[in-house]
Amino acid sequence: MRRGRRMQAIIPICWLLGALLSCLSARAADPQAYKATLASVGNGEIDQTLKTTSDLLALRTSAPVSPFGLIARARSDTDRLKTALESFGYYESQVTVKINDLPLADPSLGDALSALPKGSTAQVSVSFNLGTLYRLRRIDIEGDVPPAVDARATLGLTSGQPAVAGVVLAGSARLLTALQEQGYAFAQVDSPIAYEAADAPVLDLSIHVDIGAQVNIGEIRIEGLKRVHEALLRRRLLLHPGDAYKPSSIEAARRDLLALSVFQQVSVQVGSQADETGGVPITFKVTERLRHAIALSAAYSSDLGGSGGATWTDRNVFGNAEQLSVTANVTNLGGSDTKGAGYNTGVKYTIPEFFHRDQSLEFAISAIKQDLVAYDQTAKTAAATLSRRLSSVWRVSAGVSTTDEQIIQVTSVTAAPNGQLVGVPQTFNYTLLAFPFSVVYDSTNLPTPLDDPRHGYRGSVSLTPTYAIGHPNATFLITQIKLATYFDLNSLLPIAPGRSVLAARALAGFAQGAGELSLPPDQRFYAGGTSTVRGYGYQRVGPVFPQTNIPVGGTAVTAAGLEYRQRFYANWGAVAFVDAGQVSASLKPLPDDIRVGTGAGVRYYTPIGPIRLDIAVPVNRRPGDDRFEVYIGLGQAF
């Protein structure tokens, strides 16, 4: 029946002919509206493939057809759907298409459709008879395969398994990759040829292999550079002439160059033959990104109000991927836990490859002003940070920073001449000298923090010894531990990857060496708001000063959150979450004054990250707490 048939995935052989006939027919008569229904075959994967393959479904609204064009489209679909079923091993399947209960072969079908009243909808039904499922019997490999490659294990094909074309082709692709990873750059694995047995519904496979010569990496060229210095890339390149030829090593080098953030695209061209030294020439073709960029940002929460700003970036200052960014933000516009507008401005200059690959040095200066219910702060900071990436998931950093700040905080009240109680502000001036150190782990494998994490972990441990010159002087150590994890539920439920995700986070922080009131107010721990306990106002979780109801802050904080994320359609999603946390004078493994918030939100997914809208309420609300909080921003809450 099908002797010497090459295994292939679903190929729309008749698509062009069917589309052409449909278009020509559409011009010959008024379009015929129709509704198409495909019967289920009892297998979700096959059903989805059939729906994706069908032109009757895909072109129903985008490409109207005449009555005779509809018949032509249905005939074309018959062949397309049968090819789809064959790709799953059903080589004796039957596809039956009826229009208004008339089979396609009925000679009166065209006249019956033409006679339909104007505006009526034809009913197209497609049913399937799968027939016998063909299975694999014998698998022959023709050609020599090196001992280092276990060809049969790599193919992953066994006698008796369903003869699914996609599985067979994937096995051939794995074999080709395995040969190339052993240095056989020009190896060829031909498409498997399937032979049908005469006495049983089985297929015998023949796979021809030609490994060619084993080669190394030859000359390495870099094309497309304009402003970026080639010497930078040569120093950074993970690939060198004479190295063993491995596609995985070439791809790792390509991704590594792309990680410099100065290239829009990095592609690789492998030579078609080895040179006289036995090496294969490799060419990296790069396209540089625009040197300058401007990014706008905006966010809103009912506790902190609105904020917005812009960042100007020079991605390649002197040609060695040095980055200069200038940021200006207006903050605290109208929030319930703010007393006036503030600002947050800064300049950062980053030097990559600082005395070592994957090591960078960053200089930063910033100025901040914020008028919060807890305190008013005006500060200027200068910092230098040395960062080093240890692997694809581990990164460490160490630095030094100095901050000059003034903080005004109301800690008590007094009676005014009219008898009303008014707050008594105290002014604190500090000079802080800090030596932050952090270790960061991230296995989410995402290019930017705004992307939607679906699996993996994010964690960090930071230690910040600080000396505060002020009133009073203090020396203290601040430690923070953060952890977030993401679990894709597709491993438990019959759903597509990334559609349902369970996310969790935890935070613990404590300060040692200074008491609660000895710490500068901005160095104390607070909770409440989008980064800790949603549903409570910013810094509203924790102790307050008597009579003023103003947050004191604490020397310890613990918080945790659990969020279920569900995507709908292509761009929409929803979440449900619960957060809990506590601020106290000491770190407590068993919280005794924990605050819980819960809520829900919607997401709209864009190419630069999800736009987030969350509404949360406090579960154990205290007097003075808001009834609910609203949070709007870009990116997930964590």
pLDDT digits (tens, 9 = 90+) for 64-93: 999 999 999 999 999 999 999 999 999 999
3-state secondary structure of 243: coil
- Determine the pLDDT at residue 21: 44
Exposure string for 559-594, b = 16+ CB within 10 A, e = fewer: bbbebebebeeeeebebebbbbbbbbbebeeeeeeb
Question: What integer pLDDT is reported at residue 17 of this predicted model?
Answer: 43
Whether residue 602 is predicted with pLDDT greater than 70 in this model: the reply is yes
- Burial, 139: exposed, middle or buried (Cβ in 10 Å; 0-12, 13-18, 19+)? buried
Q: Which of 352, 225, 200, 368 is nearest to 285 (CA)?
A: 225
pLDDT of 298 > 80? The answer is: yes
Name the phi and psi angles at 290, rounded to 5: -60, 135
Classify 228 as helix, strand or coil. Answer: coil
Distance CA 201, CA 195 (A): 11
Residue 203: per-residue pLDDT: 94
pLDDT band at 2 (very low <50, low <70, confident <90, very high): very low
Give me the residue label for tokens 């102790």: 543
The pLDDT, as a whole number, for residue 9 is 52
| Mean pLDDT for the stretch of residues 486-492 | 92
Q: Which residue has the tokens 């995700």?
A: 501
pLDDT at 19: 46
Closest C-alpha to 122, from 23, 25, 31, 35: 35
Distance CA(27)–CA(15), nearest Å, equals: 19
Region at 2 (left for phi over 0; alpha for psi -120 to 50; beta for the rest): beta
pTM (two decimals):
0.77
| Average pLDDT of span 343-357 | 95
* H-helix or E-strand spanning residue 620: none
If phi > 0 it is left, if psi is from -120 to 50 it is alpha, else beta; for residue 258 that is alpha
Do 287 and 224 meet the contact criterion of CB atoms below 8 Å apart? yes
Cα separation of 165 and 541, whole Å?
Answer: 59
Residues pairing with 278 in the sheet: none
pLDDT > 80? residue 14: no
Asked if the bond preceding 472 is cis, omega within 30° of 0, the reply is yes
Q: Which helix (H) or strand (E) holds 177?
A: helix 165-181
- Angle, helices 44-53 vs 67-86, to 10°: value is 140
Q: What's the whole-number average pLDDT of the chain?
A: 91
Report d(CA 579, CA 528) in Å as an integer: 10
pLDDT at residue 25 tops 50: no
Query: What are 498-557's pLDDT values in tens digits?
Result: 999 999 999 999 999 988 888 999 999 999 999 999 999 999 998 888 878 889 999 999
Whether the pLDDT of residue 20 is over 60: the answer is no
CB 295 within 8 A of CB 630: no
Q: How confident is the model at residue 1 (pLDDT cuts 50, 70, 90)?
A: very low
Report the SS3 class of residue 413. Answer: strand
For residue 124, CA distances in Å to 94, 99, 115, 421, 569 come to 16, 4, 16, 79, 25
* Peptide bond preceding 162 in cis form (omega within 30 of 0): no
CB 262 within 8 A of CB 315: yes
**Predicted confidence band at 16 (pLDDT cuts at 50, 70, 90)?**
very low
Amino acid 13: pLDDT: 39
Average pLDDT on 384-412 reads: 95
Q: Mean of the pLDDT values across residues 329-342?
A: 94
Closest C-alpha among 218, 242, 244, 222 to residue 233: 222
Q: At residue 15, does pLDDT exceed 50? A: no
- Non-local (6+) Cβ contacts of 200 within 8 A are 137
Pairing of strands 421-434, 34-38: unpaired
Number of alpha helices (DSSP H) and beta strands (DSSP E) in the chain = 9, 29
Closest-CA residue to 435 (of 404, 400, 485): 400
What pLDDT band is residue 340 in, cutting at 50, 70 and 90? very high
φ, ψ for residue 261, nearest 5 deg: 70, 15
Is the pLDDT score of 27 beyond 90? no
- Burial class of residue 27 (count of CB atoms within 10 Å of its CB; 0-12, 13-18, 19+): exposed
pLDDT tens digits along 180-225 = 999 999 999 999 999 998 889 999 999 999 999 999 999 999 999 9
User: DSSP label at 245?
Assistant: P
Instruction: In whole angstroms, give the CA distance from residue 172 to residue 208.
Output: 10
**What CA–CA distance (Å, rounded) separates 502 from 519?**
37
Q: Delimit the domains of the chain by residue range.
A: 5-129, 135-210, 216-288, 292-634
pLDDT tens per residue, range 414-425:
876 776 767 788
Is 18 a residue whose pLDDT tops 60?
no
Amino acid at 377: Q
Q: 153 pLDDT exceeds 70?
A: yes
As given in the structure block, the two tokens for residue 192 are: 């498997």
Return d(Cα 236, Cα 360) in angstroms, integer.
Answer: 13
Residue 438 clears pLDDT 60, i.e. is over it: yes
- How confident is the model at residue 449, as a pLDDT? 82
State the pLDDT confidence band at 4, using cuts at 50, 70 and 90. low
Instruction: Select the CATH number that applies to the domain covering 292-634 from these four: 2.60.120.590, 3.40.50.1400, 2.30.130.10, 2.40.160.50.
Output: 2.40.160.50
Question: What is the per-residue pLDDT for 623?
Answer: 84
Residues in contact with 264: Cβ distance below 8 Å, sequence separation at least 6, in sequence order: 287, 288, 289
- Residue 305 to residue 583: CA distance in whole angstroms: 23
Contact 599, 616 (CB under 8 A): yes
H/E segment holding residue 132: none
- Cβ contacts of 633 within 8 Å, gap of 6 or more: 299, 300, 301, 530, 611, 612
| Confidence (pLDDT) at 515 | 82
CB burial readout 499-519, b (16+ within 10 A) else e: bbbebebbbbbbbeebebebb
| Window from 42-56, 86-100, 275-289, 575-589 with minimum mean pLDDT | 575-589
Q: Among all chains, which residue has been given the structure tokens 């761009």?
A: 571
Write down the CATH number for the domain with range 216-288: 3.10.20.310
What mean pLDDT comes out for the span 469-482? 90
CATH topology classification for 135-210: Ubiquitin-like (UB roll) (3.10.20)
Q: What is the mean pLDDT of residues 4-13?
A: 50
Q: What pairing do the DSSP bridges indicate for beta strands 572-584 and 376-389? A: unpaired
With 70 as the cut, is the pLDDT of residue 6 above it? no
∠333-335-336 over CA atoms, to 5°?
Answer: 155
Q: Between vectors from CA 257 to CA 609 and to CA 322, what angle results, nearest 5°?
A: 80
- 247-258 and 165-181 helices, crossing angle to 10°: 90
Q: Is there a common fold for 216-288 and 292-634?
A: no
Look up residue 173 and give its two tokens: 């692709």
Name the band, by pLDDT with cuts 50, 70 and 90, for residue 118.
Answer: confident
